[in-house]
Every structure is written in structure tokens, then in C-alpha cells.
Chains A and B, each alone.
Chain A
């Protein structure tokens, strides 16, 4: 049998609330520690205890980190999902299960390893009875480690990290891992081809989740106030602030330079943050879609009254309460025009954990420079899952506190200023803050119509003048927001526009499209709204552009249509959302479904000519053969997917919408 090394997926099916996350992240971290590129995703229900939950780990020597639609290795601990889990194992794959589950094994095309988890843990005298279920999870870690070849030192390192060096839990858990491994060594005959072998591809990298990164980035951005209300999947942003602020902003006098306040709801959370931003603090809130809906009226106030504030939206699936624990990119258009009346938002779109850190501090500079709410759209996949990442970089520029006038500035101006007066002609006015002792410093902020001196007015010309300035300010934002990232490829004949966490799936799909279908694409990852000049140039210079996004209604495409009506026919929508993190499969199939081969090369409007080339290169393709994909290109829209994944999703890529 040919060994398959460092290129497969592991899915662990457990029961929510059974404490399996420690076991699963231990597997993830130990693989990372062995130098092998790896990603882990928690596919969990909105439930505290009892419902089936899955954790999927992608091990990939080439560094593909997106979710894979199939798993070669499946671990079934939960009787409720046992049959589903067994059915989901890829042909030729591996099935571990807890042998107290008395359900039939129906597959003959896979390696099956029963593990006596309950018996082993009961016989472990070191584990108190009320710890058995929790620590019992470590038995399967041991068995999996033994069969796949995960290094025990790496596991020890993962546990030491997890338990913050506390020897007792480390020993108890490590002992259970060893028991599991020992038992597997003596009782199981390896019949599968899957191996994890050490590499050196994770050297110098860290492992973190986006919400923690966002919080730490915000701390390095000097956050002073956070108002928040608990919501999945955003809670850990604020909780991480509370965890890391005392450590990172520790002072000798023991006093605080910040305040984190849990509000009574999302309205109050943003209200507090706006109050704090108005009074001169670096202020933020963090939420998800339903919370953002509640924040709408305050977002409009901050836009119109020009108050700096940062709003993190860790997106989950809507509409309404939606799928609370599933990932999404469907808050884009809502955010772009949030609020009644005419309004335009500045939005940052991080694509990975590292950018969550960067945008954590940059968002404050932008908010204070532009005096407007800055929205940062992350998502559940980026925010809550553990990712390999390059280490966080220290902010390369000093803080930009924007245009602020204190007493001596006002003295120099002899009080000649107006809160909404465009003194510099760049549409950005000057502001003062409460506590300023100059008698001419104050102004009365309002969400009602105001003149250049913040006085109430309903004057038509004044309204127009102010609203026009706000448009110019929004345009001015283009020069400050993060530029898009261009991933060039030689010989690209089509482009891809996307944002956020889909990038890993897109990279992998690009490789597959090139290798299997001869379709070479380059990729511009948008990192902010409004679109900067680089986006204009990219669209200008491409004939065909796939717009890839994780939502039903093609929201990025809608914004592009509005901004670039003259290029509307270039855009091809690859919009799809089923709650699962993007996979290369849906990106690839989605692109093939809408791809139009250049007219010169063929009269037929199919992907076939390109596919021919691909079959020659098929050998190099890392995964799927080209055979199925050629037809898939046209027919996949109606064809049932071959995927036997646990969820009942319909593999219908790229619902084309206007």
C-alpha cells in the first residue's frame, strides 16, 4: 500500500459539552508542533450540551488550509452521529470509534479501529470518576496518535500549553493519551495508509484565532473603551480584551487606562462606545449580525454626527437568528449602507488571523482620522477557529489621532473653529473633546441637522453642503484604507475578486483550475470598502472576473455593480452559502459553472478546451482527477455532489443572482 503522508483530513464526531475540544485542539496543536501545515475547524451546534458536534482537521503538506469536503480519517465518539460518521469516511479511509457504541459496522472499504475508551479510562486509577468523560477523550487522542504517527513529545507540548504549565492536569491527560496509544500499539494492526511525518513548515509560525488576534490588535491600537454584549461568535473578542488588557497594559501604579463594560444589549453596547469615542477615547464594540441589526440606529448617528468608533462584526449565518454557529460573509451590503437615510460605511475586510491583529490597531487610526464608524467584518471561521499564522507584527507607524484641538490649539486659532467646518478642504473637520477647558471648545453634538458650528438647522443649503462633504470624506477614505492584495499568476486569463476568509479555498481552487482545467487565474483580495484605486485598476485590466463570496445574494458583486457599472458584464458571480467554511471544491465548481472560455479559442461556450489541457496535467493535480470535473464544469449545478459529508447540504454552487 502506498503511504499517504501529511495529506488528509480528520473529522471527530463527539457530543457537545463533552469536553472534547481540549482533545481535538491537542491533536491540532501536536500536528502543528511536528512542523506539518494544519488547520482545525469546530463545526458546532447552537447548544450547550448534548447535540452532535464535529471537529475537522486538515493536514496538508502543501499548506492548503481550507476545509475539505471529505474526510479520510473519522473518529466517532457519539452514538447519535455514529452512522452518519461512518458513512462519511472517504473510501479507503479510517474509522476509529468508541467500542461502547453497539451499532453495526457496515463499511467494508475502510479500516476500522474500535477503541475501548470507557474501559481504559475506568481502569486508570489516576483519573477521578467525575473526570472520566473529560479525560476519556484523551484515549482517542492516544489511539489516533499511535495509528497516524503523532509524536508524543508534540502532544506533551500541546497539553503543557493548554493547561498553562499546570503539572497535575498535564500529567493526568498525558497519561490517558499514553494509555490510549499503548493499547492501540498492542491491540490494533495498522491497515490504513495514512501517516503524519515531521516536516519543518510551521517553524516561526504561531497558532491563534481571529477574535483573540482582533482583541490583541486592538490593545496595540490603544483601545480605551469597549462596550459589548455577549453573542456567538463574537463574545471572545471582548473576553480576550478583558483577558489581555491587564497583562499588556499593566502599570506600576496598578491603575487602568481602559474600561470594558458589558452592556444590557447591543444598542447600549454601541451607544457606550460612541459616547466614549465622542469624548476622545479609542472605543470599540464587537458583535455579530443580530447585534449589528440592533446597532443600526446608533451607527447612523455616528455616521452623521461623525463620531469615531470601531465596530467588529464576526459574521454568522442570517437572516434573523439564522445559523448562530455557522460562518458567513452575508453582512456586507447591510453594513455598507447601514442606517436610514443616505449613509456610506467604511469597512475593513480581514482575510486571516494576522490581519485581524493588524486591523485591530489600524481601525482606530482610521476611525479617528476619518471621524466615522469603522466596521471590521470578520467571520466565525476566522474568528473562532485556530489558524496557523505568521507572528503578529508590531504596528509600523505611530498612532494617528486625527484632527483634534486642545486648549493651546484653540488659543492659537483664537477660538476660530467649527466642529463641522471643512477648514482644510479635505472634507475632514476638527474636533474637540469634553474636558477641554477652553471656553470656546464646546459644541452640542446631535443627530439632527446641523450647521458647520454644530448648531441645529434645517436649512436646505446647509444640509446639502454637509451631506456633500460626507460624500467627499467617504471618497477620501480610499487613500487611508488598506489596499487590496494582488496574488499574481503568470498567464492569467481571468481574475478573481473576493474578501475575507475564503482566500484559502480560493488559492487551492486556483491551483486545481490551473492544473486540471488549464484555467489560470489571478486573484485580488479586497480589504476595504470604499474600493481603492488598485481595485479600479484591476477591474479595468481584466476581461473576466469571478466574484467569489460566501453569501446567497452576491453582495460584493452588488457593490461592484454600483461602483463599476461600466464593467458590469465582466463580473461572474460565485456566491454560495450553506454555513460551512469555504472549500476549494465549491470555489472551483462555482467558477467552472460560470466560466466563459475566450471566443477566439473555441466556438463552443464550454470549458472543454481548457479541460483538455487539464487532463494532460492531471497527474500533477493534488486531489480530484480531471475526469469528473470536466462535466462538473457544466453539470454540477444540477448534479448531486459525491460528497458524503455529514451535513445535508446541496452542492449547488454559484446561485446566480442579480
Chain B
């Protein structure tokens, strides 16, 4: 996991609050080697470390799926809740009321957020829950061994599944339509951009949706792809056995992308995705423009990356509740149980 950490600038042993990177790490990953999700975990570690965030001030959330396992692999010192499939948003919504000073980092997947959890996903956007909401988007159900998700592109062929006949759901478009206040897209292999967007998302007050294209090394591949690796010819039989997971390296962009740049990136299976950084002149505060660039990208088969939309002026869900300054979960009986006289008043009100 460490191999993928970008070490920009001189490495320091501690950050401004005296913590080492180790204080931000999690348990060793149990995801497949080379999984884009691991790169994202590494960037979360790096971003939190560099932002001097106390791990105890963060709460981790996830649903069910490969992506949802990943909160185990970062921020060991933070509380975490690995909830149910598609239900992370509601758990996070309630939990963040416990202490309004806490910030949530939720990790979900495309199946978790835009299939089974579409309703909760959109309502978390609408409510502006105070959290970073990461969708680790690979277009496939990994943990159940390779079924199409709702973000899979039309025409994609998957082993045992055939060809996907449906157009994909665009996570960012759904977020914007649902009135999310921060919407960005990146690619797991673009470590620097992921980290910078994570930092911006964490600093945002309210919901920050990060759609991170995170290729599945194991299941989002096709028969043709197998032939692109030298070993595959010698191991043709094992390749059909889905219990065999070939070790691979994470895909990392060799060079930073410039504003407006379009770049093709080869995935493990030999397929190509076409990334396009947002143009320099893109105004992320313009909602209509945000929708336009997403539509333009769709028509051109680009995966548009960068900060697509942001609105800093909307109160978060917790702001709307005018809560006391002390964390709600530290209030005691004297704050919470009305006095006896109030009950007399109530009884008098009951006719």
C-alpha cells in the first residue's frame, strides 16, 4: 500500500499536530492486489495527515461491497460504521448528530450508491449531510464476483453476464440534480488529483460527492483482455476459474494531467478509458454549466475529472437544527429531562 503513496515534497515524520502517518493508517487491505480502492485509501491517509486532522474528529462510514470494506484500511483511530448495503447515508445522517464537530468520510460503491442505495444516496445529497461521500466506481459488483452495476457502460461485456444493454447512470449528474453542494470526479490512478479533491471535499461544509473511477482488476475484464498478459496464454484454464485472482499493480498516471487535457488510460484488461480534465475556465459555481460539461463528456465518451460543481452557501443539515454548542452525545439528564413543573404543565394541557 505504501508504494502508491505520492511523497510530494520533503517527507516529514510528524505533521503540525504531532502525529505520524502511522496514526492515520488502517489495517492491511484484504482487497485484491492492484485494486484502485487501495490507492484511494492511501490518498485518504495522505490527505488527512497533510491537513493535520485529528483522526478522532473523523467518523468513517460505508455500506456493503468491496468499496465498503475499505474504511478498515485507513484511519484506525477513527470511529467507523460498516452498515448495510445501500444504507450508509442514513446511518451517517443520524450518527453525525452525535457530535456536530465531527466530519464524516463515507466510502460507497456504484452498486451501493446508485443501485440498491439510490434513494438514500440522493436524499443525503439533498439534505447536505456534513460528510465526504466517496463513490469508488468500477462499474461492476466485485464481491459477488462480477455482475454489471448501474454505472457500467453500454456494450460492456463481462464474463458470464454477456453484454450490458443499458446506458450508465452518471453518479455526478445524479448528485448535481439532487442538489449536492460539492461534486467532483477523479480517477484512482491520478493520485495527486484524488488527494487534492479529497482535501477540498473535506474542507467543504456539507455533502461533498467524489465519484472516483476505480477499475476492478479482477472482474471488469473481458476475454480479450486475458490475452493481453503474457501469463494468460499459459494459464488459460485458471483464468476461467473466478476464484483465481491474478496479482497486478495499481494503475497510476505517470504524469500529472493539465487543465483541459484529454488522456487515454489503459486498464488491466487492455480496455481504454478517456480522461478529460476540466478546462481551466470551468466555473464550478455554475450549476447549469456543471450539467453542461457532464453532458458534453457523455456525448464524447470522456470521463470528465476535477471539481465539477460547488456551492459553499448552503447550510448543512446540522446547521439547520440550531444545536447547542456542546456535543449532543455529552449532554446529561439535566439538559435532557424537563423539570417536574413542566410535567404539571403538560398534565394541565391534557384537558
Contacts and interface: CB of A to CB of B under 8 A. Distances in A.
A577 B325 CA distance: 50
B282 interface: no
Interface in B323-351: 323-325, 327-333, 335-338, 340, 342-343, 346-347, 350-351
8 contacts: A227-B90, A249-B338, A257-B336, A274-B91, A276-B97, A392-B343, A432-B79, A442-B79
B175 interface: no
Nearest to A249: B338
A90 B55 CA distance: 73
A253 interface: yes
Interface residues of B, number: 57
Contacts of B329: 279-281, 433-435
B168 interface: no
Interface stretch (A13-21, A259-267, A607-615): A259-267
A456 B322 contact: no
B340 A441 contact: no
A306 to B, nearest CB: 13
A271 B90 contact: yes
B338 A219 contact: yes
Closest 5 CB pairs of A and B: A279-B98, A271-B90, A275-B94, A222-B336, A280-B329
Given A220-B343, A268-B123, A399 B336 contact: yes
Contacts of A115: none
B180 to A, nearest CB: 15
Contacts of B93: 227, 261, 268, 271-272, 275
A259 B83 contact: no
Nearest to A443: B79
A228 B39 CA distance: 38
Given A275-B95, A442-B79, A445-B81, A267 B330 contact: no
A237 to B, nearest CB: 16
B283 to A, nearest CB: 31
A434 B59 contact: yes
A268 B79 contact: no
Interface of B: 54-56, 59-60, 71-72, 76-84, 87, 89-99, 101-102, 119-120, 123, 317, 321-325, 327-333, 335-338, 340, 342-343, 346-347, 350-351
Contacts, number: 215
B106 to A, nearest CB: 11
Q: Which residue, B56, B102, B347, B351, has most C-beta atoms of chain A within 10 A?
A: B351
B56 A276 contact: no
Contact of B337 (A212, A221, A298, A456): A221
Interface of A: 29, 32, 158, 161, 206-208, 212, 216, 219-225, 227, 244, 248-249, 251, 253-259, 261, 263-265, 267-283, 297-298, 301, 361, 389, 391-395, 398-399, 432-439, 441-448, 456
Contacts of A271: 83-84, 87, 89-91, 93-94, 120
B129 to A, nearest CB: 10
Contact of B77 (A261, A439, A456): A439
Given A248-B342, A256-B323, A444-B80, 13 more contacts: A222-B337, A225-B328, A261-B94, A276-B97, A277-B94, A280-B330, A361-B337, A392-B347, A394-B343, A433-B329, A435-B327, A439-B77, A444-B81
B120 A267 contact: yes
Contacts of A161: 351
B13 to A, nearest CB: 18
A220 B324 contact: no
B340 A437 contact: no
B62 to A, nearest CB: 9
Nearest to B320: A259
B337 A279 contact: no
B149 to A, nearest CB: 20
Given A276-B94, A279-B329, A256 B120 contact: no
Given A207-B350, A227-B94, A442-B56, A278 B81 contact: yes
Contact of A399 (B96, B337, B343): B337
Nearest to B82: A446
Given A271-B87, A279-B329, A392-B343, A434 B119 contact: no
B337 A395 contact: yes
Contact of A301 (B78, B83, B92, B95): B83
Contacts of A441: 56, 79
Nearest to A260: B321
Contacts of B95: 275-276, 278-279, 434
B56 A445 contact: no
A268 B80 contact: no
A258 B335 CA distance: 10
A275 B124 CA distance: 14
Q: Which residue, B60, B90, B317, B328, has most C-beta atoms of chain A within 10 A?
A: B90
Contacts of A269: 90
A437 B59 CA distance: 12
A432 B80 CA distance: 12
B340 A394 contact: yes
A248 B98 contact: no
Contacts of A448: 82
A336 to B, nearest CB: 21
Contact of A445 (B80, B87, B325): B80
B142 to A, nearest CB: 16
A150 B102 CA distance: 60
Contacts of B336: 222-224, 249, 257, 282, 399
A423 to B, nearest CB: 20
Contact of A256 (B102, B324, B338): B324
Given A221-B337, A399-B336, A442-B80, A275 B99 contact: no
Contacts of B56: 435-439, 441-442
Contact of A259 (B60, B102, B120, B323): B323
A389 B347 CA distance: 10
Nearest to B119: A264
Contacts of A437: 54, 56
Nearest to A437: B56
Contacts of B94: 225, 227, 261, 271-279, 281, 283
A277 B91 CA distance: 10
Contacts of B351: 29, 32, 158, 161, 206-208
Given A207-B350, A224-B328, A248-B338, A447 B79 contact: no
A271 B336 CA distance: 23
B337 A220 contact: yes
A255 B321 CA distance: 8
A279 B322 CA distance: 19
A400 to B, nearest CB: 10
Contacts of B82: 444-448
A279 B99 contact: yes
Contacts of B72: 444, 456
Contact of A444 (B71, B92, B322): B71
A198 B90 CA distance: 54
Contacts of A278: 81, 91, 94-95, 98
Contacts of A222: 333, 336-337
A279 B97 contact: yes
Contacts of B333: 222, 398-399
Q: Which residue, A29, A216, A269, A438, has most C-beta atoms of chain B within 10 A?
A: A216
Given A434-B95, A434-B98, A444-B71, A301 B322 contact: no
Contact of B84 (A207, A208, A447): A447
Contacts of B323: 255-257, 259
A275 B342 contact: no
B83 to A, nearest CB: 7
A214 to B, nearest CB: 13
Nearest to A253: B324
B121 to A, nearest CB: 10
Contacts of A206: 347, 350-351
A275 B343 contact: no
B319 to A, nearest CB: 11
Given A248-B342, A253-B324, A275-B90, A447 B83 contact: yes
Contact of A264 (B76, B91, B123, B331): B123
